[in-house]
Structure 1
Amino acid sequence: MTDVPERYKRQARFHGIGAEGQNELAMKRVLLVGLGALGAAVSDQLVRAGVSLIIVDRDYVEVTNLQRQTLYTEQDAADETPKAIAASERLQAINRDVAVDAHIADVSWDWLRPLPHIDLVLDATDNVETRLLLNDFALEREIPFLFASCVGAYGMNYTVMPGQAPCLRCLMRHLPLAGQTCATAGVVAPIVQHVASRQAVETLKYLTGRHEKMERRLLIEDMWENQSQRLDVERLVDVSCPSCQQQEYPSLVPNRQQTALLCGRDVVQVRRSIDGLDGLLDQLRRAEIVVKQTPFTLEWRWRGHRMLLFKDGRVLVHGVDDAHVAVAMVDECLGR
């Protein structure tokens, strides 16, 4: 064990990893999309294990997150710190030997396309469109995609292995992989940790080369009702699937969606092309709008609604659920 850093020696003593596997982990890099409950939990486990990460999230920390999103503090919520920034600071404080490349962004094909080499994609998102985008991105790059979700006390895990099993698009034609969200049905923290642990251990198996140990079935568990299922889904490959069978990847298209309703929050996201925050700060102040500035955002109120502008041009309009209303409000403040 002399060639293994002291902090990893207990992990390297495990027969499934060993010194060789630990050294493999030091050379790998994982893309993690979403830094809510699942993303916070799985990133914590992987960074402690010695895995470098690219992390990305479009949102900021709120007090309602603190019950289950374990990387964040009350101060993060008070400061409305972007989750990518708060998570990166916490993860680097845990382990400065690994690289944590943090991005405040709404993931799209335009954002994914220029990424450098990665070994695996982890899903910690909350919407079907992004999951299908990641599914297609991983298939196109011929790397695994680890799908996971949890709501209430119910969780699911499944690993998409390119060329070896049905992809997420195949499964969605047969199984209810979308439905209620934590905003509508709530969530208890233990299921988050459980699902994240399954993601983390499958990640370690793959990155250390123990592919034969990986779980190829769809796992469904309800911790409250003490029920679990392991479904053999190999026969659910759709021979007409454009993603895993035809290699057409329908989700890998330039982003055209200018608005998005954020999960269960009465918040609409509106995209704008901007050259930075400074010019818009001056514009808003000239209009006698009181603006709060942080290193990452501009915040103001308009017609009784809170507006939050990120550096990448996304405006979160709070208290509305109509995209047309949100766009009109952004146009009034920033112009078309």
Structure 2
Amino acid sequence: MKRYDRQEKFKGIGSRGQTSITEKTVGIIGIGALGTHTANTLARAGVKKLILVDRDYVEISNLQRQTLFTEQHATDLTPKVIAARDELLRIRADLQIETYIEHCDAPLLEAAFSACDLLIDGSDNFDVRLTLNDFSYRYQIPWIYGACVESTYAACPFIPDVTPCFRCVMGRLPVMNRTCDTVGVIEPAVSLATSFQAMYALKILAEEPVDPRLIFGDVWTLEHSAMKFSRMSEMICETCGANPTYPHLETRTIQTMLCGRDTVQFASPVTEFTQLTTFLSTLNINYQETPYFVRFFVNDKPVIWFKGGRLLVHDVKTVAEGQKVYYQLFG
């Protein structure tokens, strides 16, 4: 029996749709709760290639809701894209996977994701979504928004030349300004958000008709809504209006407070492993080196340095507090 027999028997996909799916490349931005679920589903569905980007590593608190990760990944502080890649290849050896342990910004999207047929949002980050939205509409690549917090979930497809963009409808989206780190999240909310993301993804990849709706609800209270949004276009929209300027594709800053993480991200002046380890040795700072990053402490604050110079300062409440650690290190 063929691997995708049950999927092909489904009348919404069929053999023609399955053939289309197996020719497609999908980019997933953020390999956390949303990203691991959708990567797992799409790998099993038969997509040709996945391109994964995430700037973080696996922690023990991730395991409650982020599939593909194990306790060993958390112990080893394995970068999320590496852990996901290894697990996905155990599921399907012929899957092509490209990984980036990076902050997702406009240059990375333009360099690595321009050949994608579809983009999946797993970012849990408003600025990244605005950048993804601009990239999508400029390069005519559909993307699928997803979000979850506490017991609530949301999903929505944004298709250039078919639907209004994220910027046009974000005022109508359910309030998601709380974070999983402050108010928590349960796995069923993740599963519902990613189920709807995956549903839209399979329709788009199989080249079947899509009825775009903004879907949101609360799995705990059994509330659910599906709202059409085709009339929400704004002619003055900077992304999908009459004269788009795509402003977030011009943003180049990497300094940012990671949502709900007590972590600030910086771009350090040191970009190579040997440069950094020599520098730390001159300061008598002990460090732990892995194939992907170097971990050390500055005034009891954990610091993670990634190849290329990206730096995470943990256990800080504000950007200013993170900057103090940064300047103590680099002056």
Does TM-score exceed 0.5, indicating one fold?
Answer: yes
Gaps of 5+ in 2: none
Matched with 1:193 is: 191
State the match for 1:208 in structure 2: 206
Matches within 5 A, 1:270-285: 270-285=266-281
SS in 2 for 1:75: helix
> Shift of the alpha carbon at 1:88?
0.7
Measured after TM superposition, the shift of residue 192 of structure 1 is 0.7
Distance 1:283 1:306 in 2: 17
AA aligned opposite 1:62: E
C-alpha contact 1:121 1:145 (8 A) present in aligned 2: yes
2:237 aligns with: 241
TM-aligned CA deviation for residue 227 of structure 1: 0.6
Supply the distance in 2 between the matched residues of 1:252 and 1:177 (Cα, whole angstroms).
25
Letter in 1 for 2:204: Y
Structure 1 match to 2:132: 134
Q: Which of the numbers 106, 111, 116 marks the counterpart of 1:114? A: 111
Q: Count residues in correspondence.
A: 328
User: Is the contact made by 1:33 and 1:124 (CA closer than 8 Å) also made in structure 2?
Assistant: yes
RMSD: 1.5
Contact 1:110-1:254 within 8 A present in 2 as well: no
Q: List gaps (5 residues or longer) in structure 1.
A: none
SS in 1 for 2:216: strand
Cα distance in 2 for partners of 1:240, 1:12 equals 43
Q: Percent identity between the aligned chains?
A: 37
Of 42, 61, 65, which residue of structure 2 is paired with 1:64? 61
Structure 2 residue 310 is matched with structure 1 residue 326: no
Instruction: Find the aligned partners of 1:175 and 1:300 in 2 and give their Cα distance.
Output: 40
More deviation in 310-319 or 146-155?
310-319
TM-score in terms of structure 1 length: 0.94
Give 1:272's aligned amino acid.
S
Residue 243 of structure 1 deviates from its aligned partner by 0.5
Question: Is 2:149 the partner of 1:157?
Answer: no
- Stretch of structure 1 that moved more, 28-37 or 271-280: 271-280
Letter in 2 for 1:25: I
Deviation by residue 1:195-238 (Cα, 9 ceiling, x = unmatched) = 1111112111111110x2x2311111111001111112222211
Structure-2 residue corresponding to 1:309: 305
CA–CA separation in structure 2 for the residues paired with 1:313 and 1:329: 16
Shift of 1:15: 1.8
- The equivalent position to 2:76 in structure 1, one of 76, 79, 84, is 79
The 5-angstrom pairing of residues 33-112 of structure 1 reads 33-51=29-47, 52-112=49-109
Q: 1:125 to 1:258 in 2, by over 3 A?
A: closer
**Distance apart, 1:143 and its partner CA:** 1.7
Task: For residue 293 of structure 1, report the CA deviation from its aligned partner.
Answer: 0.3
- Aligned partners of 1:273 and 1:29: how far apart in 2? 34
TM-score for both structures, normalised by structure 2: 0.95
* Change beyond 3 A, Cα 1:178–1:248: farther
Partner of 2:265: 269
In 2, are the aligned partners of 1:41 and 1:70 still within 8 Å (CA)? yes
Decide which moves more: 9-18 or 96-105. 9-18
